[in-house]
């Protein structure tokens, strides 16, 4: 008697056999794949949107420049707020790699639309004395009107930050526009565009140093100095600013780099990825349960097919491989659809926000790999159950 040799199914034949159940039960297969697709789409979209957001923010920071440094008074040994020496701006300007030095000084006066607004309704606005070259130093420009000059800086004239103008209800500058600052009217000469690196400028009402001293009782001390350094010398300038601004007490000076805060914010956004990825994983798990349920029902409904194939010579391994491949194929289809949906969502949102579209390989490869793994796990038990079914029992119960 000739010995028989087991013949394994060719991959093409295996794919055709595995797809029979999906092609004959399309609605059920589509609903099962949908759960996988939703989970994968959520995971891809979360990672893609996070990466695109970070790329957009970092690109914006690069455009604004990373060479801006700020100098502020810190605390004294007694815990009180220190003061910047009046010579600080001039001293910093003598540092070789420094290209521009501008300053502001906070004033205790408050700004209102009219003198009839209650004093407690400050709208979170501050009034600051400002030097004449401030817009260029903080990477902003004049949106309407004009900025302070040598003449207007000595008069009751103010320039509004972008947010300050909005909160005061001044959206379109008109001739002789006025606001109430301190105890008198100030004419508004201009409105600035948003200063993204220095949001404190956005909420400020800016007046000239001479005007602040003459009309608002300003003491002449700057509270913040903005320093533009040569790009390749930023670190070197950063290291000497405290000692340059206040040689007697450098420990009372705080030096910071605004772009670093934005970069940290970009990194912090990824901290929320874990939560959304967890939600996507839950959806993927639910989809896997749906695949397992579909395969269990498929095994029960296809007992006659299993019995007939076993009677014609299919081995337990062939049956097991067939149903396992069917589960993997079903999950893979859901994974592909989910990856496509996640990528489309990322592209659409990134384009709407003018971000560069970034879909990390981890997103689409990980999503597809996770869906296949879920399908394999979900289909393993039904495949084993189908393989254990005896031919006579399967044909008898058909």
Statement to judge: residues 231 and 248 lie in one domain: yes
Say how many Å lie between the first and final Cα of the chain, rounded. Answer: 33
**pLDDT tens, residue by residue, 90-119:** 999 999 899 999 999 999 999 999 999 998
Q: Tokens 């970069």 identify what position?
A: 263
The number of residues in the chain equals: 398
Statement to judge: residues 317 and 216 lie in one domain: no
Q: Tokens 């800086």 identify what position?
A: 153
Which residue, of 263, 293, 326, is where some domain finishes?
Answer: 263
Statement to judge: residues 252 and 272 lie in one domain: no
- Name the percent of the chain lying above pLDDT 90: 35
Max mean pLDDT among 115-119, 287-291, 307-311, 364-368 falls in: 115-119
pLDDT bracket for residue 3 (50, 70, 90): very low
What pLDDT, on a 0 to 100 scale, did the predictor assign at position 281?
74
**pLDDT tens, residue by residue, 34-43:** 878 888 888 8
Statement to judge: residues 146 and 280 lie in one domain: no
Residue 2, in any domain of the structure: no
Number of folded domains that form the chain: 2
In terms of residue numbers, what domain contains 94?
66-263
**pLDDT tens, residue by residue, 340-364:** 988 998 889 888 887 778 888 877 8
Residue 187, in any domain of the structure: yes
**pLDDT tens, residue by residue, 122-170:** 999 999 999 999 999 998 999 999 999 999 999 999 999 999 999 999 9
Backbone angle region of 224, left / alpha / beta, with phi > 0 → left and psi within -120 to 50 → alpha: beta
Statement to judge: residues 279 and 241 lie in one domain: no
Which residue, of 231, 263, 295, is where some domain finishes?
Answer: 263
Residue 50, in any domain of the structure: yes
Statement to judge: residues 88 and 232 lie in one domain: yes
- Residue 271 pLDDT greater than 60, yes or no: no
- Residue 249 pLDDT greater than 50, yes or no: yes
Residue 4, in any domain of the structure: no
Q: Over the chain, what is the mean pLDDT?
A: 83
pLDDT bracket for residue 2 (50, 70, 90): very low
Statement to judge: residues 296 and 259 lie in one domain: no
- Residue 179 pLDDT greater than 90, yes or no: yes
What pLDDT, on a 0 to 100 scale, did the predictor assign at position 147?
97
- Name the percent of the chain lying above pLDDT 70: 83
Residue 37, in any domain of the structure: yes
Which residue, of 263, 296, 323, is where some domain finishes?
Answer: 263
pTM, rounded to two decimals: 0.60
Beta strands in the chain (DSSP E): 68-73, 98-107, 111-112, 126-130, 142-145, 157-160, 178-181, 184-192, 204-208, 224-229, 253-256
């Amino acid at each position: 008697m000739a010995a028989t040799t087991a013949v394994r199914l060719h991959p093409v034949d295996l794919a055709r056999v595995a797809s029979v159940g999906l092609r004959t039960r399309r609605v059920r297969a589509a609903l099962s794949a949908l759960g996988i697709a939703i989970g994968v789409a959520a995971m891809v979209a979360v990672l893609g949107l996070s990466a695109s957001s970070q790329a957009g923010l970092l690109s914006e920071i690069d455009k604004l420049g990373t060479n801006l440094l700020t100098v502020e008074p810190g605390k004294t040994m007694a815990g009180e707020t220190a003061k910047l020496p009046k010579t600080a701006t001039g001293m910093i300007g003598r540092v070789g790699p420094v290209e521009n030095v501008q300053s502001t000084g906070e004033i205790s006066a408050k700004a209102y639309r009219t003198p009839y607004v209650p004093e407690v309704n400050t709208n979170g606005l501050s009034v600051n004395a400002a030097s004449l070259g401030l817009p260029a130093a903080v990477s902003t420009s004049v949106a309407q009107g004009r900025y302070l000059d040598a003449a207007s800086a000595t008069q009751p004239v103010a320039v509004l930050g972008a947010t300050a103008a909005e909160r005061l209800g001044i959206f379109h500058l008109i001739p002789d526009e006025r606001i109430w600052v301190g105890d008198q009217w100030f004419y508004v000469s201009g409105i600035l565009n948003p200063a993204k690196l220095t949001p404190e400028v956005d909420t400020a009402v800016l007046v000239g140093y001479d005007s602040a001293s003459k009309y608002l009782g300003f003491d002449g001390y700057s509270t913040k100095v903005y320093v533009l350094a040569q790009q390749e010398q930023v670190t070197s300038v950063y290291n000497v600013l405290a000692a340059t601004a206040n040689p007697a007490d450098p420990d009372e000076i705080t030096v910071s780099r605004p772009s670093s805060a934005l970069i940290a914010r970009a990194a912090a956004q990824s901290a929320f990825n874990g939560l959304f990825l967890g939600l996507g994983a839950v959806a993927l798990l639910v989809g896997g349960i749906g695949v397992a349920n579909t395969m269990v029902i498929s095994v029960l409904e296809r007992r006659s097919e299993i019995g007939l194939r076993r009677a014609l010579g299919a081995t337990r391994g062939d049956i097991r491989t067939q149903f396992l491949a069917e589960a993997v194929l079903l999950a893979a289809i859901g994974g592909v659809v989910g990856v496509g949906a996640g990528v489309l969502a990322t592209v659409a949102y990134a384009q709407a926000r003018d971000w560069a579209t970034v879909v990390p390989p981890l997103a689409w490869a990980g999503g597809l790999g996770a869906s296949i793994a879920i399908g394999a796990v979900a289909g393993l038990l039904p495949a084993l159950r189908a393989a254990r079914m005896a031919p006579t029992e399967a044909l008898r119960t058909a």
